[in-house]
Structure formats: structure tokens, C-alpha cells
């Protein structure tokens, strides 16, 4: 078997390419110039869990089974967060590496994401609840919503590489800053500069490492909120609309995102529901279950009767009317699909179009 180049996989949560364009990022530019860089595509729906799992397994959702942050099981009527490894239908790259006798680590900002992507990690750390040893060395991490939480996480990564140097590390930040600030804002520029400096230090400290960097989704400003349940009810159709973005960290996005799964009480109303939803301003695409599964590589039994996608300016959620003005930054639709793909170091060449293609070939067989 070929010698394994030590590898760091970074998923920078919500790193829309426009964030990199709006801020000087000399370290990222150097890595890109010496390696591979392209703007590629995330998986639809463009939410954190679906894409992080795509990256950490190197497979699309019809293989790994994570189709949302949050799902409704139509057989039981139970709604649940898709946030533990029991939902995973494929091994992670950490599992695969461990099977080859390699040492592994997973670092995330949020505990819930670690539960989902940390499968197969010899060492696991989340910035929300780090181990005492890391706190002793780096000081306590900032609050989960604080601007420099990601910087603390990257410091932990740098320390881990210096002290333990595992063969494969998966590291996923959080997108709180992207939800709050547009690329051109001073706050965002400071955040991106901080990430770039940290990345530069990591590349300097670990010059022989392969660095694979991408994002789970982009981010855009939203102006309209649409309540799909209310819209359907106005046509006499009883349905549940599940916000695909929904997670426990509500401050970031208020559970408002650009994609929803709709479960109909009566499947006989399917055509009528499609027609009604397609007429609503802000609704861009409505796909029945199988069509959605085929088009977006989703697991049909784990989505809704309909997948509804918003235009660039609209989010779905619960509102006081069918359509109301809103003001927030969020993701979930096709319009947050553009993400950076960077590969640097040994065996890092390639032609990557999707974020998960970056890791697809790691430790196979
Ligand atoms: Zn995310």
C-alpha cells in the first residue's frame, strides 16, 4: 500500500466564496497557488449536517443517508434531529483510516456535529465542551456564539498537530459569523483574516501534510419569509413543512432556511399541492419525493413527499402570514451551493466539482 500522507480535512462552515473574495487571504492564496483551487458545489439541501456528512464520508446523501438537520418519520409522526451516528449508512473517512491502522482525530465547534461526524476518531474534541487538558493549554474556549470560537478551534488543531500529529484529522468550524455578517463587513473581514492566519500557521508547522479545505454551504441575505403550511392550508391541504435547516442552535438562523420537506396528510393532494406551491412568489422549485431523490442524490425514504426550494431571497418557516418581509442571512437553497474547494500537498491533485469529491478517494479498500 502506498505511504499515507498525513492529512487535515477542514470544513469551514458557511464559507461562501464571496467571503474569501472580500478579504485578503494570503495563506489561502499561497496554498491554492501551490495546489488546487476551484469554486465547486455543495450538496442540496445546502445545510450543515447533510454536507458535513457528505465530506466526512466522501459520499452523496443517497449513500450516507443524512438528508436534513431535522426529519419527520411519517410512519411514527415523530420529529427528530438527525444528529447522531446511528443515522449514518456509510463509514466515515476516519473509520476507513482506522481500518488501515492509521491514527485519527475529529474536532468540531459544536457537540452535536461531533456526535454525527466523529465516528472513527481516536481523539475527539468539540469547542463547546473541550477536555480539561486542552483548556489548560489554550485557556477556556469562547462562547459558542462568540466571534473567535473558530480561532480557538484552529488553535486546538494546530496544537494537536504539533503534539500528537494524527494521520488524519477532520475539523469543522461553525457558521455563526457568516449568519451574522456579510462578507464586506469589518467583523467578517476580521474573522476571515483570523482563519487565514491560523491556516497559514498550520501549513507552516506541518509542511508535509496534505490539506483539504472546503465548506458545507454558502450564505446569502434573505428578504422574504414564506410559510408553506399556511399556503397549503389556504388551499384546503393539510401538511407539515419541516425546515431542513432546523437545529438546536436557533440564534444563528431562527430555523429559517431556503429548503423544506413537505409531508402531506393525503397523498391524493400531491398534484394540487405542487401547483399551489409553485405559484407562491419565492418558491423556485417543487419536486415530488422520487424526483427530488433522483435529482439531488437524496435517500427517498428519508425526505418528504415534496422537496421545496426557495429563490435566493426567501426562507421557509412559521410566520404570521403566508409571505412576510424578513431580514437575516441564511442558507439551504441551491443559491448557497457555491463553495471553495482547496487541495494542497502530496497527492492533492484532482479535478473536484463537489465538496465531497475531495475526500471520496481517501482510504478506500
Ligand atoms: Zn453550516
Does residue 17 lie within any of the structural domains? yes
76 CB burial (10 A radius; 0-12, 13-18, 19+) = exposed
Residue 250 has pLDDT above 70, yes or no: no
**Are 210 and 234 found together in one domain?**
no
**Are 342 and 294 found together in one domain?**
no
Range of the domain at 270: 220-330
**Are 121 and 189 found together in one domain?**
yes
Question: Poorest-confidence range of 71-85, 202-216, 281-295?
Answer: 71-85
Distance CA 187, CA 62 (A): 37
Nearest to 52 by CA among 64, 34, 40, 36: 64
- Ligand 1 centroid to residue 134 C-alpha, Å: 25
What's the confidence (pLDDT) of residue 252?
62
- Ligand 1 centroid to residue 179 C-alpha, Å: 9
What's the confidence (pLDDT) of residue 80?
80
**Are 15 and 115 found together in one domain?**
yes
What's the confidence (pLDDT) of residue 248?
65
Residue 264 has pLDDT above 70, yes or no: yes
What's the confidence (pLDDT) of residue 284?
98
Residue 347 has pLDDT above 90, yes or no: no
CATH of residue 144 = 3.40.720.10
- Ligand 1 centroid to residue 252 C-alpha, Å: 10
What's the confidence (pLDDT) of residue 349?
78
What's the confidence (pLDDT) of residue 244?
86
Sheet arrangement for strand 314-316: 314-316, 220-226, 323-330
**Are 282 and 304 found together in one domain?**
yes
Q: Which CA distances in Å does 36 have to 73, 162, 200, 329, 349?
A: 41, 25, 16, 29, 6
Check whether the bond before 298 is cis (ω within 30° of 0): no
Mean pLDDT of the chain: 94
- Ligand 1 centroid to residue 268 C-alpha, Å: 35
**Are 320 and 203 found together in one domain?**
no
**Are 228 and 208 found together in one domain?**
no
Q: Which residues contact 140 (CB under 8 A, 6 or more apart)?
A: none
**Are 76 and 158 found together in one domain?**
yes
CATH of residue 320 = 3.30.1360.110
Please state the domain count of the chain: 2
What's the confidence (pLDDT) of residue 69?
83
**Are 150 and 131 found together in one domain?**
yes
- Ligand 1 centroid to residue 50 C-alpha, Å: 9
Does residue 71 lie within any of the structural domains? yes
- Ligand 1 centroid to residue 329 C-alpha, Å: 12
Does residue 1 lie within any of the structural domains? no
**Are 179 and 231 found together in one domain?**
no
Distance CA 61, CA 41 (A): 14
**Are 192 and 290 found together in one domain?**
no
**Are 135 and 224 found together in one domain?**
no
What's the confidence (pLDDT) of residue 110?
92
Does residue 2 lie within any of the structural domains? no
Does residue 151 lie within any of the structural domains? yes
- Ligand 1 centroid to residue 2 C-alpha, Å: 34
Q: Collect residues with CB below 5 Å from ion ligand 1.
A: 13-14, 48, 175, 216
Distance CA 209, CA 344 (A): 8
Q: Would the pTM count as exceeding 0.85?
A: yes
- Ligand 1 centroid to residue 266 C-alpha, Å: 33
Amino acid at each position: 500500500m502506498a505511504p499515507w500522507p498525513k492529512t487535515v480535512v477542514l470544513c469551514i462552515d458557511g464559507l461562501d466564496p464571496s467571503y474569501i473574495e472580500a478579504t485578503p487571504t494570503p495563506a489561502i492564496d499561497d496554498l491554492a497557488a501551490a495546489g488546487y483551487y476551484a469554486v465547486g458545489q455543495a450538496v442540496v439541501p445546502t445545510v450543515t449536517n447533510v454536507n458535513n456528512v457528505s465530506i466526512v464520508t466522501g459520499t452523496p446523501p443517497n449513500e450516507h443517508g443524512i438528508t436534513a438537520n431535522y426529519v419527520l418519520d411519517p410512519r411514527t409522526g415523530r420529529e427528530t434531529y438527525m444528529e447522531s451516528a446511528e443515522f449514518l449508512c456509510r463509514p466515515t473517512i476516519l473509520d476507513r483510516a482506522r481500518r488501515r491502522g492509521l491514527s485519527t482525530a475529529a474536532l468540531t465547534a459544536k457537540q452535536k456535529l461531533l456526535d454525527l461526524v466523529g465516528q472513527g476518531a481516536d481523539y475527539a474534541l468539540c469547542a463547546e465542551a473541550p477536555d480539561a487538558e486542552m483548556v489548560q493549554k489554550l485557556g477556556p474556549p469562547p462562547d459558542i456564539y462568540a466571534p473567535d470560537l473558530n480561532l480557538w478551534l484552529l488553535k486546538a488543531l494546530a496544537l494537536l498537530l504539533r503534539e500528537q500529529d494524527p494521520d488524519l484529522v477532520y475539523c469543522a468550524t461553525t457558521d455563526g459569523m457568516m449568519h451574522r455578517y456579510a462578507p464586506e463587513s469589518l467583523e467578517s473581514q476580521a474573522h476571515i483574516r483570523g482563519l487565514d492566519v491560523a491556516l497559514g500557521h498550520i501549513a507552516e508547522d506541518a509542511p508535509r501534510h496534505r490539506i483539504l479545505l472546503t465548506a458545507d454551504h454558502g450564505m446569502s441575505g434573505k428578504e422574504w419569509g414564506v410559510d408553506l403550511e399556511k399556503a397549503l392550508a389556504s388551499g384546503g391541504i393539510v401538511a407539515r413543512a419541516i425546515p431542513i435547516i432546523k437545529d438546536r442552535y436557533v440564534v444563528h438562523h431562527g430555523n429559517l432556511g431556503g429548503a423544506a420537506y413537505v409531508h402531506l396528510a393525503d397523498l391524493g393532494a400531491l398534484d394540487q399541492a405542487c401547483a399551489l406551491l409553485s405559484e407562491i412568489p419565492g418558491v423556485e422549485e417543487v419536486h415530488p419525493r422520487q424526483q427530488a431523490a433522483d435529482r439531488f442524490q437524496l435517500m427517498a425514504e428519508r425526505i418528504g413527499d415534496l422537496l421545496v426550494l426557495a429563490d435566493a431571497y426567501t426562507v421557509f418557516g412559521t410566520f404570521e402570514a403566508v409571505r412576510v418581509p424578513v431580514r437575516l442571512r441564511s442558507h439551504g437553497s441551491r443559491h448557497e451551493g457555491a463553495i471553495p474547494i482547496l487541495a494542497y500537498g502530496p497527492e492533492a491533485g484532482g479535478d473536484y466539482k463537489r465538496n465531497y469529491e475531495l475526500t471520496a478517494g481517501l482510504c478506500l479498500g
